[in-house]
Chains A and B, each alone.
Chain A
Amino acid sequence: MNEERRQILEMLSAGKITTDEADRLLAALGSQPVAGSAAASAEPAAKSPPKYLRVMVEDHSEDTGNGKTQVNIRVPMQLLRAGVRLASLIPQPALNHATQALHEQGVQLDLSQLKPKNLEELVDHLSDLTVDVDEENTKVRVFCE
């Protein structure tokens, strides 16, 4: 029993408050989190950063002909990070060439404006990504673990 509840019950036994008032006060206290558990409930337990990106595909459709098709890929996040750092090593003339080719295809994206920091942020936020595709015979799941 915490201190507030004890005080309310003492006030009730001393006749300072009526039973109705005590009931209301106790009910009000009941809606508040208990002091000891407040910190625990306020912040969810810190999640450990994901280590892998998983891609899982299951296809049971008849047109594959050979029965069930399964794809199970696990890519370490560290490898993804290294991959995006590799992108930052692409020489500027090559980036300009790629940007021009993208513009010709109608994609207005300037690759030279993509900084390693932006790409790393993208990888960091992959942990929030979950893709679930459920069809009659096909299941696709992309998630981090």
Chain B
Amino acid sequence: MIPLMLVVGFRTYKGRGLRLWVPLFLVWLLLLPLVLVLLPLAFLALAFLRVNPLRAVQTGWQLLTGLKGTRIEIQDGNALLLIRFF
């Protein structure tokens, strides 16, 4: 299952911060037509590089689905960077 939600947050040393909840399912929906248009071009480029296009698509999909559950939190004093995929 691909991630459907992304949380990106940061906080500065002064304590000001922002937390964004990005609805990835909407991003995927918006990107879908673009992907369909670019896919034949990507296939041609991959064939030119002698890379199996089907394998590349499969690996790309696995990368996308593998992102779910990824969590990165870096805190330095009061400053914070947070990235989470749900």
Contact = CB atoms under 8 A, between A and B. Distances in A.
Given A78-B62, A79-B63, A81-B62, A69 B69 contact: no
Contact of A66 (B13, B50, B51, B74): B13
A71 B50 CA distance: 40
Contacts of B71: 72-74
Interface of A: 51-52, 64-76, 78-83, 85-86, 89, 91-92
B66 A67 contact: no
Contacts of A83: 63, 66
A55 to B, nearest CB: 10
A67 B78 CA distance: 8
A91 B50 contact: yes
B62 A91 contact: no
A73 B69 CA distance: 11
B70 to A, nearest CB: 6
A104 B66 CA distance: 35
B45 to A, nearest CB: 11
